[in-house]
Chain A
Amino acid sequence: AQSVTQPDIHITVSEGASLELRCNYSYGATPYLFWYVQSPGQGLQLLLKYFSGDTLVQGIKGFEAEFKRSQSSFNLRKPSVHWSDAAEYFCAVGAGAGGTSYGKLTFGQGTILTVHP
């Protein structure tokens, strides 16, 4: 069964500082990987995705993530955080084509990001 671990429940950074949110997954084949962001009272917004190819993927709002198969990780990064980035971030894994449970996503527990001015 696939699973996702986000080790950090809560992270606090200063505005302008760099950010890295950690995500580790467990899946027996090549996974599809996603990062979503959720602001209070809102639904989930897709930040970026990895299906195949270049292991460094760019997303919206200046975010990027790197897929490292050897470490089963897909960490999210941003070089300079803005106050508006404060939200909860979810990493998710989906089965690739032909895999079991194809289509559904398994989410991590989320990381709450607080940004200090």
Chain B
Amino acid sequence: GAGVSQSPSNKVTEKGKDVELRCDPISGHTALYWYRQSLGQGLEFLIYFQGNSAPDKSGLPSDRFSAERTGGSVSTLTIQRTQQEDSAVYLCASSFLAGFEQYFGPGTRLTVT
């Protein structure tokens, strides 16, 4: 079946602009996660959603980062006033339930110039 999809695959933006990254989880998966992968920091957890519960935002690095999940499916990660240190690959994952194995999408490579 279809896996996790993310769009765009690549995004180049100017410093100070806002960006939106999209994630479509595997159908039927109730939990959705965002991670960031960068050379200096490795793979870092950002935020996760489980069903209708309040999201766990404990990994968001600043208040410029936010995410929402509409209708328990598609999620959008928004970065406002982008900075060069935001350049990274943003990975989305989903799982049947929180705590189950996570399946990852191909990622969005964000470059802030």
Residue contact B91 to A44, C-beta cutoff 8 Å:
yes
Residue contact A32 to B42, C-beta cutoff 8 Å:
no
- Grouping DSSP codes into helix (H, G, I), strand (E, B) and loop, the B interface class, with mixed when no group exceeds half, is strand
- Grouping DSSP codes into helix (H, G, I), strand (E, B) and loop, the A interface class, with mixed when no group exceeds half, is strand
Residue contact A42 to B106, C-beta cutoff 8 Å:
yes
B113 to A: closest C-beta gap in Å: 20
* B42 touches which of A43, A104, A110 (Cβ 8 Å): A110
Q: Could you give, for residues 73-112 of chain A, a 1 whenever the CB lies within 8 Å of some chain B CB and a 0 otherwise?
A: 0000000000000000010101111000111111111100
Residue contact B45 to A106, C-beta cutoff 8 Å:
yes
Residue contact A46 to B99, C-beta cutoff 8 Å:
no
Chain B residues whose C-beta falls within 8 Å of the C-beta of A34 in the assembled complex:
101-102
| Interface hits, B7-56 → A, CB 8 Å | 31, 33, 35, 42-43, 45, 48, 50, 56
Interface pairs (13), CB distance under 8 Å: A42-B106, A43-B91, A43-B105, A45-B104, A94-B99, A96-B99, A104-B45, A104-B48, A105-B33, A105-B45, A105-B102, A106-B45, A108-B42
The chain B residues found within 8 Å of chain A, CB to CB, are 4, 31, 33, 35, 42-43, 45, 48, 50, 56, 58-59, 91, 93, 95, 98-99, 101-107
